[in-house]
Structure 1
Amino acid sequence: MSGEGGLAQYVLGAVPHGRTAIVAADGTGPLTGRALADRARRGAAGLAALGVGRGDVVALHLPNVPDFAPALCAVLRAGAAAVLCSPLATEEELTGQLALSRAAVVVTAPALRAPARAAAARAGVGAVLDLLPDRRAAESAAVPVVVRAGDPAVLALSSGTTGLPKYAVLTHGGLVANLRQAAGPLPLGTDDVLLALAPFAHVMGACGVLLRGLAAGATVVTLDRFTPAAFLGALSRHRVTQTIVPPPLVDLLATSALVDRYDLSALRVVYVGGAGAGADLERACARRLGCVVAQGYGMTEGGPMITVNPVDGRARPGSAGLPLPGVRIRIVRDGREVPAGSSGEVHVAAPGLMAGYLGDPEATRRVLGADGWLRTGDVGHVDGEGYLWITDRLKDLIKYKGHQVSPAEVEAVLTRHPAVAEAAVVGRPDARAGEVPVAFVTLRTPAIPEELVLFVAARVSAPKRIHEARIVGALPRGPTGKVLRRELRRRVRPGDMRTVTPSHPEFPGDLMAGLPVVDISGFATEAAPGPGRDAVAAEVDRICRETGFFLAAGHGVRPETRAAMFAASREFFALPAAAKNALAISRSSCHRGYFGIAAEALDEGTTGDLKEGLDTGGEHGPDHPEVLAGTPTFGPNQLPDLPGFRQAWSAYRAEAVEAAERVQRALARALGLPDDHLLAMAGGEVMYHLRLLHYPPQRHTRPAPGQLGCGEHTDYGTVTLLADDGVGGLEVMRRDGTWIHVAVPEGLLVVNLGDLMAIWTNDRWVSNPHRVVNPPDTDRYSIPLFVTPPYRARITCLPSCLAPGAEPRYAPQVAGEYLTSRLDATHPYRNPLLAARRAATPPQDG
């Protein structure tokens, strides 16, 4: 290949000019093929004006947005190589990437400007650009750059999970060859809509998805922020025909009740990448959606696409498929090629292989032979019909007393247990055995570690038996969906027997977390009591005994009321700090008003939660009896003077209180009490406190040890109703002490019990710990309504919850006194000793 543009010319020359080539999932940033080509041409001219040309490196530090496409094509047209940098990278990580790649320029987005500039300064990079300069005038004068097939086009971090990071150099000729090879086995045309979920910071996302889609003339839909609802909504709204997903999302598509809420009838092909999903799960997903589910195999060094299952009915579920045209595969064991059906290391030869690792000839020689064969480090076999089956990684094999134990084999046994959703097995160093197998598992239904250890022991030989099972909320994964075994190995130091959970998993692990949905519409004020209430009450009783959390449908809060409240909340938290602090909660006598970041510490051992909030209660004027009596939680609200705020707040509060009354009627009936028992308790009026919460992005914040968006805690009253914006981050503790990640379907409310309900029921019902681990790269908003019995209500154990002759587990509590004691323990402005302690350990801002 020679001539102007190289890879960019190949892609842009195939994009239809008169139709949408790329658009964001929310409908923003659409670019026609003509606009894409124009912006790429002007961007290349702008780079040339900065002195960027052939042999230079430009870093793309951008999220999955339409602007990525013209930026990448502009860099390629300018003759430079694009280095792909993750928008999730920390400043330190980005600094290392820029230094290693020797980038001359960083192209970023306005939201990422601060870390990009800081990293560029540390790495000695001369220019940081918000997207690309638009040089219309220079465009016509720009000299076309001649790009040769062997010129570097993309520098991509190796997707390997051990060792120091290395940049694989992928050339113009190699990437064009790979796109051409994939065109037949991965059919895609102008009638297709391709959802780009794979990160563009990885070569599979940038080239195997984005450029492949553009070169085929399809419409590419980008999804920058993943949530289950955003993913499914994009599939439905854009009538997506193809997408590529990691294994956890195959499980979501195959099993989640959330899928039934969306029209996915246009979806024809779901490609699975990053790791194998398993034959049974692939079949289940295909049956449910009525589409083809095809696993493929690739790696950064491989170009990146190597094999894929045919979509014409010849797919072999569980296999990695057939080699792309022009790709050769051999299986090597002990230095010799072995016949079909025999297992060994997978070697690949193809025109799209990397040229080598940037600046590291020794590392290149270790994996890329002079004969042109790439050692993948993967273990597998090719069957008699040419299908590749990947079974393990060479470096993942566990050496137990001289035996080589395959983690994949043990994982396959574990996932046969009905409670296990996913499993990953690694070796833990052991002085006597060398290594012993340890399993990390996520669960569908409750199980205890000892049960899983015995389950495996009954089915495998002694070297393969796991010595420990750790139950976690999700397996840590890299950007392509691969399990990060290096992270799991880090957690299994000798003697370390703690159960651990990941922070900010890239993809959801146990989606929905097993939270059941309860329709409470039958407990509305206007609903006639009937036998249906008893069935719902029985289900509520079962749930409250097990987890104390469920999702409420039929709650009566209208979507438009909810949307208006979230909009008003966002508008308030966007105000300058001075405007918010004018409503400071410390100025209130009844705990009403604004509190800032880290002002509340729900986990009392930390330095404060990474959230800000606005606390409100009922509208109590100066002549209200409780205000006249000086009751601590009664008094005026401090609401912002924003247009429409009070109306939105009043409407939402009224409908949320009605929803809470429905829940309380259901709870009362579940306890064998009259439906309105909780609404008519002695001691005054039921207290409803509505709180608006904002969790800012943590990208530019270095949390203190143990500091979360919202620390581990239980709620204080009888019950809480939470409206969630769908970003995710809510985690609930299981009875075994591990955490599950909760995804909240749009329109449902999260309902959970508080401490006073547990005291009242003598722990028959559970007040479960929970927390918020807010995603680091986006804002999160939520609106909880806390329900507490009347201030002077005396909470004593219900006779029906106490065994004959037994003593209650808890002393009687006065509801209001308990509430104020908990507020005193978590808010420094109410507690001078707490304030002094917190002042000694302030939050650490990076």
Structure 2
Amino acid sequence: MTLTYLPWMRPSSYDERPCVRDDRTELTYRAFAERVEAAAEHFAGRGVGRGDVVAVMLPNQVELLVAIMAAWRLGAAATPINPTFTAAEAGHQISDSGAVLVVDGASVGELPTVASGGLPAPSTDAGDLALLVYTSGSTGRPKGVMLDHGNLGAMIASMREGIHAQADDHCLLVLPLFHVNAICVSFLTPMSVGAQLSVLQRFHPVEFLGAIERLRPTYFSAVPTIYSHLVALPEEVRADVSSVRFAICGAAPAPPELFAAVERRFGFPLVEGYGLSEGTCASTCNPVDGVRKPGTVGPALPGQLVAIMAPDGMLLPAGERGEVVIKGANVMRGYLNRPEATAETLGDGWLHTGDVGILDEDGYLRIVDRIKDMIIRGGENIYPKEIENVLHAFPEVLEAAVVGGPDPTYGEVPVAFLSPRPDATIDVDAVLAHTREQLTKIKVPVAVHVLDVLPKNPVGKIDKPALRARLAGE
């Protein structure tokens, strides 16, 4: 396995090629490597060394990429943090990861741009921890997915072959870089072949089309909500998007009609993929140049094995419904300091996704349900337990349940149901104000319903399907 996405392992022929740009900075591969070396010297001067963790809490910008690479240059790992997190959310990730340094908006200006040459020669092994990507789980507390350079290298090789990435490709990055999708598909894959990357700080439909016309990218990766906004633009909004040879859609289910609408309006193929942070990024994708099957997320990417497993651990034949499980060198090392959760997810040698799917005779995967109680809002994974923990902080609340309510733009949004303690009254406005202080905006319930008693299933657990049905009937 070659780690050519690392500046110190790239071919020298890349040196003067365009590498990365944002709205303020444009760097060749040589200049980007210089920035990484300078930042690594800066980190080393602050005590960062092999085996440490550097937290990077920045919006999409070149310095975010430099900071991640600088940590790797020292043999450290990086943990990217959502820059919109509250102090409580960011504090948990910083503390849990054991980060020894935080690079944020207040400190990023200190990063030097010229190296002095004082560092020892780099040494990066496939087994070195590279990323700690935090994802929520059924316990409601985000946990660190441990990805080493072997995982990243395997993922990049898989993606590179799957999308036929070439040196003349140009990726337009619009997804947030605290997501492993943006890091692997949009950043590291083009870096591994000497292609170029343009970084957008945020998405706005008209501005995004203008960026395509101006920058001439060959591909980009986005979530269904972004494509919904693009096809909803008035017909008179036009741009030259002829440079785009394909686009990728992932992170949340999307109806086949959306894919048809995108291809009809913009003329480039839109391929749907599927994966999760625990698998480093993507495990299946409809082929760019081959048969694309609407309603599926495509076959397994090269180097990976995707199967369907019954509850008894038996692998099921084509057409049978069961849990989607994955094998490959891209599968995570485990969860940081969570041996029980790691064993539950990886214990039998397969990555258990918690998703229910069906493989057809050609190996194309269709996701039909979710085992895990997860809400996907516009591509963002939201776990109800984390929100419920905040709601339970109110002494007046006896029970709390959060489910996904249907939304025409985001697919799903969190909706809370509460029942009060005897003789207590729940102040909904106070509850919402508290959740806004504790949680990122996308996790704040769009509505809070107070019921005398929450519905229960036969074993006494809160009946969330009944709550979802209640919302669907509104």
Shorter-chain TM range is: 0.7 to 0.9
Consecutive unaligned residues of structure 2, counting only runs of 5 or more, are: 377-381, 389-399, 442-474
Q: Contact (CA 8 Å) 1:60, 1:107: kept in 2 or not?
A: yes
Q: Contact (CA 8 Å) 1:349, 1:374: kept in 2 or not?
A: yes
Q: Post-superposition shift, 1:133?
A: 4.1
Matched ranges for 1:507-546 at <5 A: none
Q: Post-superposition shift, 1:6?
A: 8.1
Give the aligned partner of residue 233 of structure 2.
256
**Equivalent of residue 79 in structure 1, options 53, 75, 84:** 75
Q: Contact (CA 8 Å) 1:11, 1:215: kept in 2 or not?
A: no
Q: Secondary structure at the match of 2:6?
A: helix
Distance 2:121 2:236 in 1: 49
Give the aligned partner of residue 440 of structure 1.
405
2:339 matches 1:361: yes
Distance 1:10 1:176 in 2: 15
2:143 matches 1:143: no
2:327 matches 1:345: no
Q: Secondary structure at the match of 2:124?
A: strand
Distance 2:138 2:4 in 1: 31
Q: Post-superposition shift, 1:131?
A: 5.4
Distance 1:355 1:436 in 2: 32
Q: Secondary structure at the match of 2:181?
A: helix
Q: Secondary structure at the match of 1:146?
A: coil
Q: Secondary structure at the match of 1:206?
A: helix
Give the aligned partner of residue 89 of structure 1.
85
One-letter identity of the residue aligned with 2:189:
R
Q: Secondary structure at the match of 2:162?
A: coil
Change (3 A) 1:366 1:142: same
Q: Post-superposition shift, 1:162?
A: 6.3
2:220 matches 1:239: no
Q: Contact (CA 8 Å) 1:47, 1:133: kept in 2 or not?
A: no
Q: Post-superposition shift, 1:93?
A: 1.5
Give the aligned partner of residue 377 of structure 1.
354
Distance 1:353 1:171 in 2: 10
Q: Secondary structure at the match of 1:79?
A: coil
Q: Post-superposition shift, 1:207?
A: 2.1
Q: Post-superposition shift, 1:186?
A: 1.3
**Equivalent of residue 280 in structure 2, options 288, 294, 303:** 303
Q: What do residues 143-185 of structure 1 show as CA deviations (whole Å, max 9, x unaligned)?
A: 1243222110011012658621000000011111110111111
Give the aligned partner of residue 471 of structure 1.
none
Distance 1:21 1:6 in 2: 13
Change (3 A) 1:387 1:158: same
Q: Contact (CA 8 Å) 2:144, 2:335: kept in 1 or not?
A: yes
Give the aligned partner of residue 61 of structure 2.
65
Give the aligned partner of residue 197 of structure 2.
220
One-letter identity of the residue aligned with 1:346:
V
Change (3 A) 1:273 1:499: farther
Q: Secondary structure at the match of 2:418?
A: coil
Distance 2:236 2:346 in 1: 43
Give the aligned partner of residue 99 of structure 1.
95
Change (3 A) 1:342 1:80: same
Give the aligned partner of residue 200 of structure 1.
177
Distance 1:88 1:324 in 2: 32
Q: Secondary structure at the match of 2:294?
A: coil
2:1 matches 1:22: no
Q: What do residues 513-561 of structure 1 show as CA deviations (whole Å, max 9, x unaligned)?
A: xxxxxxxxxxxxxxxxxxxxxxxxxxxxxxxxxxxxxxxxxxxxxxxxx
Q: What do residues 693-741 of structure 1 show as CA deviations (whole Å, max 9, x unaligned)?
A: xxxxx99xx99xxxxxxxxxxxxxxxxxxxxxxxxxxxxxxxxxxxxxx
Distance 1:438 1:77 in 2: 42
Distance 1:441 1:267 in 2: 32
Distance 1:306 1:36 in 2: 30
2:239 matches 1:314: no
Q: Contact (CA 8 Å) 1:326, 1:350: kept in 2 or not?
A: yes
Give the aligned partner of residue 163 of structure 1.
140
Q: Contact (CA 8 Å) 1:22, 1:221: kept in 2 or not?
A: yes
Distance 1:208 1:259 in 2: 31
Q: Post-superposition shift, 1:439?
A: 7.3
Change (3 A) 1:90 1:258: farther
Give the aligned partner of residue 45 of structure 1.
41
2:143 matches 1:178: no
One-letter identity of the residue aligned with 1:45:
E
Give the aligned partner of residue 457 of structure 2.
none
Q: Contact (CA 8 Å) 1:7, 1:175: kept in 2 or not?
A: no
Q: Contact (CA 8 Å) 1:58, 1:75: kept in 2 or not?
A: yes
Change (3 A) 1:228 1:177: same
Matched ranges for 1:524-603 at <5 A: none
**Equivalent of residue 371 in structure 2, options 387, 390, 394:** 394
Change (3 A) 1:48 1:386: same
Q: Post-superposition shift, 1:499?
A: 12
Of 94-103 and 259-268, the range deviating more from structure 2: 259-268
Distance 2:59 2:321 in 1: 39
Change (3 A) 1:162 1:343: farther
Give the aligned partner of residue 56 of structure 1.
52
Give the aligned partner of residue 619 of structure 1.
none
One-letter identity of the residue aligned with 2:278:
E
Distance 1:441 1:153 in 2: 37
Q: Contact (CA 8 Å) 1:107, 1:131: kept in 2 or not?
A: no
Give the aligned partner of residue 492 of structure 1.
417
Change (3 A) 1:35 1:10: closer
Distance 1:322 1:194 in 2: 23
Q: What do residues 369-398 of structure 1 show as CA deviations (whole Å, max 9, x unaligned)?
A: 2x421100011011100011111210249x
What TM-score results when the alignment is normalised by the length of structure 2? 0.78
Change (3 A) 1:15 1:146: same
Q: Post-superposition shift, 1:280?
A: 1.7
Distance 1:31 1:380 in 2: 43
What TM-score results when the alignment is normalised by the length of structure 1? 0.45
One-letter identity of the residue aligned with 2:319:
G
One-letter identity of the residue aligned with 1:305:
A
Distance 1:38 1:104 in 2: 23
Q: Secondary structure at the match of 2:62?
A: coil
Q: Secondary structure at the match of 2:130?
A: strand
Of 255-264 and 66-75, the range deviating more from structure 2: 255-264
Q: Post-superposition shift, 1:492?
A: 3.0
2:224 matches 1:279: no
Give the aligned partner of residue 111 of structure 2.
132
Distance 2:263 2:256 in 1: 11
Q: Contact (CA 8 Å) 2:185, 2:221: kept in 1 or not?
A: no
Q: Post-superposition shift, 1:241?
A: 2.0
One-letter identity of the residue aligned with 2:170:
V
Q: Contact (CA 8 Å) 2:181, 2:281: kept in 1 or not?
A: yes
2:207 matches 1:211: no
Change (3 A) 1:6 1:222: closer
Distance 1:279 1:14 in 2: 44
Distance 1:381 1:330 in 2: 9
Q: Contact (CA 8 Å) 1:56, 1:104: kept in 2 or not?
A: yes
Give the aligned partner of residue 266 of structure 1.
243
Q: Contact (CA 8 Å) 1:307, 1:323: kept in 2 or not?
A: yes
Q: Post-superposition shift, 1:10?
A: 7.4
One-letter identity of the residue aligned with 1:132:
L
Q: Contact (CA 8 Å) 2:322, 2:357: kept in 1 or not?
A: yes
Distance 2:17 2:127 in 1: 32
Distance 1:161 1:246 in 2: 23
Give the aligned partner of residue 451 of structure 2.
none
Q: Which has the higher contact order (CA 8 A, sep 6+)?
A: 2
Q: What do residues 644-686 of structure 1 show as CA deviations (whole Å, max 9, x unaligned)?
A: xxxxxxxxxxxxxxxxxxxxxxxxxxxxxxxxxxxxxxxxxxx
Q: Contact (CA 8 Å) 1:182, 1:324: kept in 2 or not?
A: yes
Q: Post-superposition shift, 1:260?
A: 2.9
Change (3 A) 1:81 1:131: farther
Q: Secondary structure at the match of 1:177?
A: helix
Distance 1:269 1:14 in 2: 29
